[in-house]
Structures are given as structure tokens and as C-alpha cells.
Amino acid sequence: MGLKRPESVLVVIFSEQGRVLMLQREDDPEFWQSVTGTMEIGETPIQTAYREIAEELGVVLDVKKGQIKDCQQTNQYKIRDCWLHRYPKGTTKNTEHVFSVCIPEQSPIVLTEHLDYLWLSKEEAIALAWSQTNKAAIKAYAIGQQ
């Protein structure tokens, strides 16, 4: 596998009940997050969002239905030191495109890159999320019946 491109997506997943899906990373069990993933060459951010949900959760959404909402927000953050080796030499920052989607809590989840998942209240998800950009995205874009 080659080096990662320093451009990714963050997809906040929430239910109609306003609960947020959080994922526990395999490579750092203290790190909980929403769906994230690196954009591949030739891929648009929205294409990456659909691909990453399918890859990480086994949930295939219909692109034609436009289920994923582009939040029209882009973040830039410092890459964790322990992950810098994954990127081209000299890369220290990542650009992150933010999306959100509502899926039923009963959706079958098949984890491929994470240890566990939880459906949490918005407040619990914000408290558990490791990154500040993830916390802010959950606060801004996780909707539903609160």
C-alpha cells in the first residue's frame, strides 16, 4: 500500500432518534470517531463518503437518492505524530471534508476496520469523540428527534 493522500472525509452518522454512531479504532482503542477515510486519486469527496461507509460499516447507500449530505465544511488539522509515516515526507496537515447521513439504528453493521461501535446520544458522542473536528461536526450536523 502506498502513502496516504492528506485529504479525507468525515461522515457523521445519526439516526432518526438523534443518536450518533461512533466507531472504536483498531489501531488505537482509546480513539473513537465517526466514519473517516482518505480520498483516493480521481475520487471526489462525496464518492469517498459513500465508499467509506460501505467499506467500514458494510452499509451500501444509494448515490442516486443523495442520502449523504455535504455539510459544505472543510477542516484542516495537524496529523498525529504517530501517523505521519503514512503520508508523503514533510506532510503535517490533512484536509477533511465533512458530510452527514441519517441511517436506521437497526441497519446491520459489519465492522472491517474498527473494534466496536456504539449508538450514543449526541452529548455522549461529543464527549467520546477523540478529535476536535469530529466533536464539532457531531454538534453541528447530527440531527433527528433530540
Tell me the per-residue pLDDT of 105-142, one tens digit each, with 9 for 90 and over. Answer: 999 999 999 999 999 999 999 999 999 999 999 999 99
Torsion sign across C-alpha atoms 18, 24, 28, 33: negative
Contacts of 69 (CB under 8 A, 6+ apart): 99, 100, 101, 141
pLDDT, tens digit (0-9, with 9 covering 90-100), for 45-90: 999 999 999 999 999 998 888 899 999 999 999 999 988 999 999 9
pLDDT, residue 146, reads 44
Burial 28-58 (b: 16+ CB within 10 A, else e): eeebbbbbbbbbeeebebbebbbbbbeebbe
Instruction: Give the global pTM.
Output: 0.92
DSSP assigned state of 42: T
Q: Where are the domains of the chain?
A: 7-141
Domain 7-141 of CATH type 3.90.79.10 = yes
Question: Over 70: is that where the pLDDT of 144 sits?
Answer: no
